[in-house]
Amino acid sequence: MSVMKSIKGGVTASKGFRAAAVFAGIKASNKGRDDMALVASEVPAVGAGVFTTNRVKAAPVRVSRAHLRAPHACAVLLNSGNANACTGPCGISAAKKLAVATADVLDCGLRRVLVCSTGRIGVPLPVEKMVSKLPELAARLSAKNGGAAARAIMTSDTFVKEYAVEVKASGGTFRLGGMAKGAGMIDPNMATMLCVVTTDAKISKGTLQNALHTAVERTFNRITVDGDMSTNDTVLALANGASGGVSIKAGSADHQLFADALHEVCLKLAHMIVEDGEGVSKFVTVQVRGASSLQAARKVAEAVANSTLVKCAWAGNDPNWGRILDAAGYCGVRIREELVDIYYDGVAAVRGGTAAPTPKQQLVAAVSGKRFTVTIDLHQGRAFYTVYTTDLTEKYVELNLSE
Amino acid sequence: MSVMKSIKGGVTASKGFRAAAVFAGIKASNKGRDDMALVASEVPAVGAGVFTTNRVKAAPVRVSRAHLRAPHACAVLLNSGNANACTGPCGISAAKKLAVATADVLDCGLRRVLVCSTGRIGVPLPVEKMVSKLPELAARLSAKNGGAAARAIMTSDTFVKEYAVEVKASGGTFRLGGMAKGAGMIDPNMATMLCVVTTDAKISKGTLQNALHTAVERTFNRITVDGDMSTNDTVLALANGASGGVSIKAGSADHQLFADALHEVCLKLAHMIVEDGEGVSKFVTVQVRGASSLQAARKVAEAVANSTLVKCAWAGNDPNWGRILDAAGYCGVRIREELVDIYYDGVAAVRGGTAAPTPKQQLVAAVSGKRFTVTIDLHQGRAFYTVYTTDLTEKYVELNLSE
């Protein structure tokens, strides 16, 4: 019997969470599509967050990080169309004003409100316009509007990203669901990416923070579309205990179930972000094994997954293993060329650093698929690492000629 | 009075050097274009070399590096169409066979011959076919064929790259000239790049090696097209003393003149490689200043110069400074966002980490040019670094869909 099953919905799949979306006209070119979203817990929740490691941090990142030091969190206000990044002290004031106004309409403490922004960098946030929409946004809060909120945070995303699971734990059943947006600037250590996860399990703030950190490290930090890490990357988690009986104690069997559920939801959302990368036509899993250390495995995997030439070859259905070996060679890891094997979907392309006797057509067939796995065995040790990435298409360049 | 002037030609601009080119049909799709070249000194010369730091090294890199330990060098045999990389022990044998056969036809010692290959990775070199062409190649050696040799090493290059200077030193006049090929896989620490420099100055092997190392570090190692460092990157220098009087002693004024001339020739060839990058439409100089260390300045400059998103914006004439600041923020240097200024051709785009009050049209005008300079002032110290790079176009992706 499986204890975890996928259920419908995202941030409102967990009990006691409501969401809403509204159109505020944050970006001039946005014609009527909702661009503000709110996620709120009916009872005080505990919050956790993992943020961009970029030295350039958007104002909402700085404000949310500070607010998360408070014991409880109630709501997350999000917007698309403007990142409120590189906006100086005015940007910080704007993010704080939004938090204050949201706390007002929800009648909760200021520091219980977290804020997220995504969109263009360096443009002042139209904060008055946004504040004027908050009463309407709050009035729309409903357990049915999780999907509408997920849609409102999209930028160049082409589909809504939400996922949720239900878990039968020993203490009872709990739910865990989330929404995310991605598209450009997707790289390990996160991206132009926002994600909000909710759960109705009861868990301490510290245990939630540790679980979120681990889940992000193994999911969102292993995806890359273009190698550019953004200023706004944020993953937030709220746990409100509304499921009743279930209390997750660190080290218990239920704690493991909770970690698995969080991993599953983050992984599914991370994969959706890669699949929806700008102009992407293929989903590629890069596995490195036989490395002398985790760090070495990671460096090789990321170099291959970010190589412009490797990604162009994939777009052209070219199983160009020379470019893969080249990238593995320049990433700073002391690989031994003559030991390296490379496989496309298990079919050997390289054995011992040189061409395997596989008919080229077989390799072309593998790389022509919409999803395939490249495995690089360094034969130097036992460490392994996996990165999820994409090809690089003319469409990607076209989409990014200007914003 | 200027002591250095540009003169016509490349590797045969220096006295006592001859060159030749021939068609060997190394790559099946190459229809009749010369693909083998030879550069030879009439008298024994001293040789120096700087090679790729990629852990995956092509066979000719390994063989030439070994041969350079000999006191003298006489000739360089080069080919396009096949990189002889990732070809295992057979590749090493093939490179050695070519050196042996070249030494035979030139009647010199085996270790006085250096070899270079560029082209497709992982395909066995058609060594018998090449050996059979060597007598014809040697017979064509002439001081007039420097240009033909420069043309024969081109792959996806669209123009011949050669440059030479003449220098009036205190001991007399000497010449220094070179040829190069570039196009794809261009990155700091060199590229799919070959370069041969010759001089008729008299200089010791050690002094030449040091001068070459310094010149490469400040020129070829500061260019990037796609962030991919190749397995074959090689810069070789031969000095034959045929100018007569001029002897370059380490530490002398003439030594400085020699270093300047070598820098000038390498810089001109490096710039040509960037200008001729695959699908490139713009030549961009990225200057970082005010850094706390050279290493910090370099990291920021390289992150900006290699950012997919930054380069796409340039291709679209978009002065998107947010992407530049983003790249500076994720490269691992502890920049302080609120101190950073960014300029396009001296026009302020960012002051103190946020938008400068410059009309956008002025920035668009700068980034719309074929050549412009981006200056990033970190205001944290006095170190600076410059990288030469390009935009990223749909044409680049198209050219690299397959090889």
Q: What is the pLDDT of residues B204-219, one digit of tens each?
A: 999 999 999 999 999 9
Is any Cβ of chain A less than 8 angstroms from the Cβ of B309?
A: yes
Complete edge-to-edge strand list for the sheet that includes strand A371-377:
A354-355, A347-351, A341-344, A371-377, A283-291, A383-390
Q: Does residue A60 contact residue A79 with C-beta atoms inside 8 Å?
A: no
Q: Which of residues 157-176 of A touch B (CB under 8 A)?
A: none
Location of structure tokens 């420097």: B146
pLDDT tens for B41-54 read 999 999 999 998 88
pLDDT tens for B220-262 read 988 877 666 677 889 999 999 999 877 999 899 999 999 999 9
Q: A-chain residues within 8 Å CB-CB of B357?
A: none
Q: Which of residues 326-345 of A touch B (CB under 8 A)?
A: 326-330, 333-338
pLDDT tens for B82-140 read 999 999 999 999 999 999 999 999 999 999 999 999 988 888 999 999 999 999 999 99
**Measuring CA to CA, how many Å separate B236 from each of A377, B58, B63, B150?**
34, 15, 13, 14
User: What local confidence, expressed as pLDDT, does residue A308 receive?
Assistant: 85
Partner residue opposite A313 with nearest CB, options B86, B315, B402? B402
pLDDT at A186 > cutoff 80: no
Comparing alpha-carbon positions, the chain B residue that sits nearest to A355 is: B122
CB-based contact B313 A230, cutoff 8 Å: no
Q: A-chain residues within 8 Å CB-CB of B402?
A: 313, 316-318, 320
- The predicted model gives B256-272 an average pLDDT of 96
CB-based contact B56 A329, cutoff 8 Å: yes
- Split at pLDDT 50, 70, 90, the class of A227 is low
Partner residue opposite B122 with nearest CB, options A121, A354, A394? A354
| Residues of A known to be catalytic | 192
CB-based contact B121 A189, cutoff 8 Å: no
What is the pTM for the complete model shown? 0.83
- Distance to chain B for A58, nearest Cα, Å: 10
Q: B-chain residues within 8 Å CB-CB of A120?
A: 322
**Measuring CA to CA, how many Å separate B76 from each of B25, B138, B195, B238, B389?**
19, 12, 11, 9, 29
pLDDT at A191 > cutoff 50: no
Q: How far apart are CA B189 and CA B187, in angstroms?
A: 6
- The predicted model gives B305-323 an average pLDDT of 89
- Give the bridge partners for B175, in sequence order: B166
Token digits for B295? Answer: 């290493």
pLDDT tens for A111-154 read 999 999 998 888 899 999 999 999 999 999 999 999 999 999 99
- On the CB side of B195, how many CA atoms lie within 13 Å of its CA? 36
What is the β-pairing status of strands B354-355 and B234-239? unpaired
User: What local confidence, expressed as pLDDT, does residue B190 receive?
Assistant: 45
- Split at pLDDT 50, 70, 90, the class of A29 is confident
CB-based contact B328 A56, cutoff 8 Å: yes
Partner residue opposite A86 with nearest CB, options B309, B325, B392? B325
Partner residue opposite B403 with nearest CB, options A315, A318, A327? A318
- Distance to chain A for B397, nearest Cα, Å: 6
Give me chain A's average pLDDT, please. 92
Q: Which of residues 240-299 of B touch A (CB under 8 A)?
A: none
Q: Which of residues 39-58 of B touch A (CB under 8 A)?
A: 53-57
Q: Which of residues 113-142 of B touch A (CB under 8 A)?
A: 120-123
Q: Domain coordinates of chain B in residue numbers?
A: 4-275, 283-399
- Split at pLDDT 50, 70, 90, the class of A183 is low
User: What local confidence, expressed as pLDDT, does residue B184 receive?
Assistant: 61
Q: How far apart are CA A117 and CA A130, in angstroms?
A: 12
Domain B283-399: CATH architecture, name and number where available? Roll (3.10)
> What superfamily would CATH give domain B4-275?
L-amino peptidase D-ALA esterase/amidase (3.60.70.12)
- Distance to chain B for A154, nearest Cα, Å: 19
Three-class DSSP labels, chain B: CCCEEEECCCCCCCCCEEEEEECCCCCCCCCCCCCEEEEEEEEEEEEEEEECCCCCCCHHHHHHHHHCCCCCEEEEEEECCECCCCCHHHHHHHHHHHHHHHHHHHCCCHHHEEEEEECECCCCCCHHHHHHHHHHHHHCCECCCHHHHHHHCCCCCCCCEEEEEEEEECCEEEEEEEEEECCCCCCCCCCCCEEEEEECCEECHHHHHHHHHHHHHHCHHHECCCCCCCCCCEEEEEECCCCCCCEECCCCHHHHHHHHHHHHHHHHHHHHHHHCCCCCCCEEEEEEEEECCHHHHHHHHHHHHHCHHHHHHHHCCCCCHHHHHHHHHHCCCCCCHHHCEEEECCEEEEECCEECCCCHHHHHHHHCCCEEEEEEECCCCCEEEEEEEECCCHHHHHHCCCC
Location of structure tokens 């975890």: A4
Q: Does residue B213 contact residue B189 with C-beta atoms inside 8 Å?
A: no
- The predicted model gives B142-164 an average pLDDT of 95
CB-based contact B316 A400, cutoff 8 Å: yes
User: ipTM of the predicted structure?
Assistant: 0.76
Token digits for B326? Answer: 């983003």
Counts of helices then strands in chain A (DSSP H, E): 11, 17
Amino acid residing at B82:
N
